[in-house]
């Protein structure tokens, strides 16, 4: 059984935020005016969280790139009154934008705060508009959205593999954040496939998941920093 997941090596992450930018560009995420961002309304499916340890100047920074955890036991899907958020056979947690009524119950239920709401409709400048990704639907105002592990790339990769008459390889399907990470900190693949790197990395002694004790079974693993 395929279970798409991610392993993020915190020792390799430099906090460059290339993953954030790649994600926004890949998934047609509009930027918001700075005042809106200050209010906590910026949308960032992948977000590099920064934890400061110690007091300046004897402090260290720890970066946590944080996508949707695509939990095996997602608290967001049971609370949705209209089944607008769901988990599919391959463990991807999706959101049906045309069905979502915008009650934001799922956003409250998510312990990782990865669900974003469209407080206003998205706006792009004319130059940005020309670069919108035709593979990803744009979201109207008033609905919830979140990281999809770039599942549109999976659809394409699967079609390509079928056309070439071969099985899907690990490198065929990579989300934008993993593809762009300059230090290779983000590794993506099928957690249940022994030929994929994530299957081995998730067994690393450094591997941990966020808020593991909640029992949500996230499919995003972090390799703890060695220091």
Which residue of 8, 107, 154, 176 would you call a contact of other proteins, by CB under 8 A? 107
Whole-number Å distance between alpha carbons of 91 and 187: 17
CA 32 to chain centre: 19
Tokens linked to 210 = 């966020």
Characterize the bridge pairing of strands 220-223 and 4-9. parallel
221 touching other proteins, by CB under 8 A: no
One residue of 214, 217, 224, 225 binding other proteins per CB under 8 A: 214
Which is nearer to other proteins, 64 or 136 (by Cβ)? 64
**Window 134-163: residues binding other proteins (CB under 8 A):** 140-144
Contacts with other proteins, 28-67, as mask; x by CB under 8 A: --------x--xxx-------xxx------------x---
Q: Minimum Å distance from CB 77 to other proteins?
A: 9
Is residue 133 a contact partner of residue 26, using CB atoms and an 8 Å limit?
A: yes
Residue 116 binds other proteins (CB under 8 A): yes
Among 12, 104, 156, 197, binds other proteins (CB under 8 A): 104
17 binds other proteins (CB under 8 A): no
- 124 binding other proteins? (CB under 8 A): no
Which of 101, 171, 182, 203 is the binder for other proteins (CB under 8 A)?
101
94 binds other proteins (CB under 8 A): no
Based on the shown chain and the rule CB under 8 A, indicate whether residue 113 belongs to the binding site for other proteins: yes
Q: Least separation, in Å, of the C-beta of 16 and other proteins?
A: 18
Question: Is 109 a binder of other proteins (CB under 8 A)?
Answer: yes
**Phi, psi torsion values for 217, nearest 5 degrees:** 55, 60
Binding site for other proteins (CB under 8 A): 36, 39-41, 49-51, 64, 75, 78-84, 99-105, 107-109, 111-113, 116-121, 140-144, 210-211, 214
């Amino acid at each position: 059984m395929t279970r798409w997941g991610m392993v993020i090596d915190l020792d390799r992450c430099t906090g460059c935020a290339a993953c954030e930018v790649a994600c926004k560009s890949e998934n047609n995420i509009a930027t918001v005016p700075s005042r809106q961002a200050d209010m906590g309304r910026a949308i960032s499916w992948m977000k590099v969280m920064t934890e400061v340890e110690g007091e300046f100047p004897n402090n260290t920074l720890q970066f946590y790139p944080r996508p949707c955890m695509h939990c095996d036991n997602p608290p967001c899907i049971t609370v949705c009154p209209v089944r607008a958020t769901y988990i599919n056979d391959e463990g991807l947690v999706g959101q049906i934008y045309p069905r979502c009524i915008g009650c934001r119950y799922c956003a409250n239920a998510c312990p990782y705060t990865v669900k974003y709401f469209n407080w206003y409709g998205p706006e792009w400048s004319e130059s940005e508009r020309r670069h919108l990704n035709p593979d990803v639907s744009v979201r109207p105002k008033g609905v919830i959205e979140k990281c999809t592990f770039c599942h549109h790339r999976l659809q394409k990769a699967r079609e390509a593999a079928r056309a070439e008459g071969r099985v899907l390889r690990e490198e065929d399907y990579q989300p934008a954040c993993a593809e762009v990470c300059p230090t290779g900190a983000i590794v993506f693949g099928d957690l249940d496939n022994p030929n994929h790197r994530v299957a081995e990395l998730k067994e690393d002694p450094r591997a941990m998941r966020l808020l593991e004790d909640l029992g949500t079974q996230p499919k995003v693993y972090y390799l703890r920093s060695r220091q």
